[in-house]
Amino acid sequence: MPLPYLQDLRHCAGHDLDGPLAHTRPALQRLKAAKGKGEYAFLDQPDRTDDLAAIEAAAARLRKFGAIVLLGTGGSSLGARTLAALVDGGAGFWPKGTPRLVVAENVDPFGFGKMLDTLDPADTGLLAVSKSGGTGETLAQMHAILPWLEKAGPLSARACAITEPTDNALSRLAGRHAIPILEHPPTLGGRYSVLSIVGLLPAAILGLDIRALRAGAAMARDAALDDPATSLPAHGAALAAALVHKGKRTTVLCPYVDALAPFGQWFAQLWAESLGKGGEGTTPIRALGTVDQHSQLQLWLDGPADKLITIVARDSRDAGPRFAADMLADGALDWLAGRTMGDLLDVSWRATAETLARHGRPVRILTIRTLDETTLGALLMHFMLETVIAADLFGVEPYHQPAVEDGKKLARAYMKGMGAKADNG
């Protein structure tokens, strides 16, 4: 079966990839040797079947609610958002009969209050996700939502927690409320967890084919580890390294697929947290075509020449409504006559790529035939592999995020310094 995506580096020909590409070989060899051994947990998620029954049982229990509130942040939320976009198109267009996923990542009390105001506790299920079980935001949200949700009935029937199998604040809280706890794989970092229960339980609740997500990821992985010459993620990592040598330190991900907008958020975390260390890394920029042609494109074309632009495009020719010549009845629109909305999208990304190339801006194009679970699984694995291979080229450790711990400690210290409250109610 052919890979469900292609990578086109034609517009990057001016940048010498051969050197960095050769340097990806040790990383590929290490990844290939580690496969199946649990050493890099993200690599082995696609082959798992041991967790499917638990995922599907929990999904069946939660699927009956009209809304599912997901409490979690960063790696605990962005994968679910990305997968859910297969259902809501990334824009909140939930089909009738499907639960809608409402993701609460922040602790803005005004935003959180607005969320609860629009939900009916009797028709709401809850999923709380924190690997460590100690994420302040998620615990605070839990304490805010549980009294509201409990009014509608026992939490055991309408809630679920995902955390690593340790005695932690989330597992203790869940235990006290008889909320079932599912296991976050303990060696799997949040930003690499989308193909574990962390992403797949929300996906299964929404009715997605979680086996196909994993199968697509396995396909992308298995095609990527043999040889730099044929490895698409190795080419992507080599491109990032080659461009850094030329001072290009920002990387734009611009899908021309509405449903891939959250994918850009997921990628931004993956890339930023994995590579942004010791002065290394490049800065991810989220974008979406065609709207960013009317927003950021001017800067990409004629601002600082410091960017790689990656376009992700789906074959959309002939798709969507066709513009009849007599309906247009307007000279200004002759160029649309007989074409479809999908044709317009198609020429838009092609023209943008070509224009960027003519301005000397490096453009990579990933194309997909369709957007389904298999394709999305493959894209997710592609970018996880590209990230860890790039980490090897940059000489950084991709699985930790040491700098952010300072801020967490400081927040707790600040809280202790706040004036004591008399009223704990």
**Residue range at the interface with a second copy (CB under 8 A); choices 16-24, 133-141, 158-166, 203-211:** 133-141
Residue 65 is classified by DSSP as S
- For tokens 């992308």, what's the residue? 220
- Minimum distance from residue 21 beta carbon to a second copy (Å): 23
Q: Which two tokens stand for residue 254?
A: 């611009």
What pairs with residue 85 in β-bridges?
none
Contact criterion met (CB below 8 Å) for 288 and 262? no
- Minimum distance from residue 33 beta carbon to a second copy (Å): 28
* Preceding peptide of 251 cis, ω within 30°: no
Examine residue 273 and tell whether it contacts a second copy (CB under 8 A). Answer: yes
Nearer to a second copy, 46 or 284 (CB): 284
For residues 253-280, one letter each, b for 16 or more C-beta atoms within 10 angstroms of the residue's C-beta and e for the rest, the string is bbbbbbbbbbbbbbbbbbbbbbbbbeee
Examine residue 159 and tell whether it contacts a second copy (CB under 8 A). Answer: no
Q: How far is residue 150's CA from residue 302's CA, in Å, rounded to a whole number?
A: 55
Contacts of 112 (CB under 8 A, 6+ apart): 104, 106, 141, 144
Q: How many residues bind a second copy (CB under 8 A)?
A: 142
Respond yes or no: is residue 273 known to be catalytic.
yes
Examine residue 175 and tell whether it contacts a second copy (CB under 8 A). Answer: no
Respond yes or no: is residue 408 known to be catalytic.
yes
Examine residue 360 and tell whether it contacts a second copy (CB under 8 A). Answer: no
Examine residue 106 and tell whether it contacts a second copy (CB under 8 A). Answer: yes
Contact criterion met (CB below 8 Å) for 380 and 196? no
Nearer to a second copy, 49 or 118 (CB): 118
Q: How far is residue 415's CA from residue 403's CA, in Å, rounded to a whole number?
A: 20
DSSP alpha helix (H) spans, 89-159: 109-118, 136-150
**Residue range at the interface with a second copy (CB under 8 A); choices 42-50, 129-137, 231-239, 384-392:** 129-137
Question: In angstroms, what CA-CA distances link 311 with 85, 128, 350, 356?
Answer: 18, 33, 9, 11
For a second copy, the binding residue among 304, 315, 360, 369 (CB under 8 A) is 304
Examine residue 307 and tell whether it contacts a second copy (CB under 8 A). Answer: yes
Instruction: Please report which helix (H) or strand (E) contains residue 177, including its range.
Output: none
| Catalytic member of 37, 96, 151, 294 | 294
Q: Which two tokens stand for residue 35?
A: 């496969």
In this structure, the dihedral spanned by the alpha carbons of residues 71, 77, 82 and 86, taken in order and rounded to 10 degrees, is -20
Contacts of 157 (CB under 8 A, 6+ apart): 61
For a second copy, the binding residue among 157, 320, 397, 399 (CB under 8 A) is 320
Which amino acid does the sequence have at 388? V
For a second copy, the binding residue among 33, 60, 91, 229 (CB under 8 A) is 91
- Minimum distance from residue 104 beta carbon to a second copy (Å): 9
- Minimum distance from residue 384 beta carbon to a second copy (Å): 15
Examine residue 286 and tell whether it contacts a second copy (CB under 8 A). Answer: yes
Rg of the chain on CA atoms, in Å: 23
For a second copy, the binding residue among 7, 337, 397, 399 (CB under 8 A) is 337
For a second copy, the binding residue among 2, 49, 50, 414 (CB under 8 A) is 414
Examine residue 122 and tell whether it contacts a second copy (CB under 8 A). Answer: no
Examine residue 22 and tell whether it contacts a second copy (CB under 8 A). Answer: no
Nearer to a second copy, 234 or 368 (CB): 368
Contact criterion met (CB below 8 Å) for 198 and 164? no
For a second copy, the binding residue among 193, 265, 310, 387 (CB under 8 A) is 265
Binders of a second copy among residues 376 to 405 (CB under 8 A) are: 401-404
Question: In angstroms, what CA-CA distances link 310 with 267, 327, 365?
Answer: 12, 36, 6
- For tokens 């009715």, what's the residue? 207
For a second copy, the binding residue among 79, 99, 190, 202 (CB under 8 A) is 190
Examine residue 163 and tell whether it contacts a second copy (CB under 8 A). Answer: no
Q: Which two tokens stand for residue 182?
A: 């599912």
Nearer to a second copy, 53 or 414 (CB): 414
Examine residue 240 and tell whether it contacts a second copy (CB under 8 A). Answer: no
Examine residue 110 and tell whether it contacts a second copy (CB under 8 A). Answer: yes
Q: Which of 260, 351, 247, 350 is nearest to 307 (CA)?
A: 247
Examine residue 297 and tell whether it contacts a second copy (CB under 8 A). Answer: yes
Examine residue 245 and tell whether it contacts a second copy (CB under 8 A). Answer: no
Examine residue 291 and tell whether it contacts a second copy (CB under 8 A). Answer: yes
Q: Which residues are catalytic?
A: 273, 294, 408
